[in-house]
Amino acid sequence: MSYYYLNLRSKLITGILLVSLTVGLSFPEFAGTQPVGKNATVGSYNTNLLLGVWERSDGGYVLELKDFRKNGTLTAVYYNPKSINVSRSQWQQGSDAVYILLELRDVNYPGSTYTLRYDAGTDRLVGKYFQAMDKIIYDIEFLRKK
């Protein structure tokens, strides 16, 4: 196969993955904008289980989750090791877990995204990281920082 064909194929696969991630994680708007109260449950999930500081298992990347709101937004702070602007942070309750979408827009972060699912059985955030600079998707996990 020629280099041109392989390069085109790689771009096509990356595009399909991005569309799949975007379509698969559409977050509907919920009514209300009040933060979820202390020890509140949303559906069958206690969002307080997600509050706190999380560190990526491959080291150095830290995520702090705060203020889950009923309208599907939350406050998230991301460090690598300095603070990186989180331009969008949303959550949604699925039938099996709570899902989180984070978009990073800063120097060297031109729209990189995390799509995460809270695994209550192992107390981890697991999912995908789309590194926008190189257009690569990584399987990642965040562990609760003690």
CATH number at 135 reads: 2.40.160
Handedness of CA 121, 144, 81, 103 (dihedral sign): positive
Write phi, then psi, for 7 (nearest 5 degrees).
-65, -45
| Amino acid 33: pLDDT | 33
pLDDT tier at 46, thresholds 50, 70, 90: confident
Cα distances (angstroms) measured from residue 1 to each of 8, 11, 14, 54: 11, 15, 19, 43
Per-residue confidence (pLDDT) for residue 44, from 0 to 100: 57
pLDDT given for residue 31 in this prediction: 32
Average pLDDT (96-100) is 95
Domain count for the chain: 1
- When pLDDT is averaged across residues 100-109 and rounded to a whole number, the result is 97
**DSSP-assigned states of every residue in 66-111:** E--BTTSB-EEEEESSSEE-EEEEEEEE-SSSEEEEEEEEETTEEE
Domain membership of residue 127 as a residue range: 3-144
Tokens of 6: 């392989």
Better pLDDT: 139 or 41: 139
Q: Identify the CA nearest to 47 among candidates 84, 28, 27, 73.
A: 73
1 vs 88, which has greater pLDDT? 88
pLDDT of residue 146: 77
The structure tokens 């099996």 sit at: 96
Mean pLDDT, rounded, for 105-114? 97
Q: Greater confidence, 56 or 27?
A: 56
What's the rounded Cα separation, in Å, for the pair 10 and 74? 34
CA 113 to chain centre: 6
